[in-house]
Amino acid sequence: MSPAERVDALWPALIEESIGVREAMLESLRDPLDRACDLVIAALRSGAKVILLGNGGSAADAQHVAAEIVGRFRLDRRGWPALALSENISSLTGIANDYGFEAVFVRQLEAFGARGDVLIALTTSGRSANVVAALDAAAELGLDRVVITGPSPNPATDRAEVAVRVPAPTTASVQEAYMLFLHALCHVVEEALTDP
């Protein structure tokens, strides 16, 4: 089968899966989106910050959203405090080397997290040991916690005030849906905080 034939066979199915996930999100994720927006708006209004984390592709998504909050999403406005704990490779590798990979987010939360901040954890499985450990540390530090994950019950969702279970069948489609949810969050938060 040629590459063009593979594309012809695969592309429609991928588009249909994506449409199905978005239709399922329309109702099932409305309440979690509302609650996550409330937490982030309250944190930023009070001068607190948003901290994001994830592994692999989720780490990249965390960095993307931190950039939207610090820079801008759609509106020209002042920057707001947000950071992704995957941004500093020296911290990640140094902490992993000295304390183990499970501690890479916990140590950074101890350094940067404060009561009133919001932690947004991205994890497709909800079982990553370093994410679960970070959620436990965030609870001890007094951070509000939002977890965005796949549809299956998992340890991460049990540790969050807001559990966003993306109704998607594959890791790739969960990660794709992350950005729709997070862009919607950025949009709502930005409009709420810049509304005259």
Question: What CATH number did the domain enclosing 142 receive?
Answer: 3.40.50.10490
pLDDT band at residue 196 using 50, 70 and 90 as cut-offs: low
pLDDT(168) > 70: yes
What is the per-residue pLDDT for 69?
98
pLDDT band at residue 62 using 50, 70 and 90 as cut-offs: very high
Which domain covers residue 138, as residue numbers? Answer: 3-194
- Tell which residue, 13, 69, 61, 22, has the closest CA to residue 41: 69
DSSP letter (8 states) at residue 115: T
- pLDDT tens per residue, range 145-161: 999 999 989 999 999 99
The count of other CB atoms within 10 Å of the CB of residue 22 is 16
Q: Are 173 and 24 in contact (CB under 8 A)?
A: no
Q: Are 120 and 48 in contact (CB under 8 A)?
A: no
Counted domains in the chain: 1
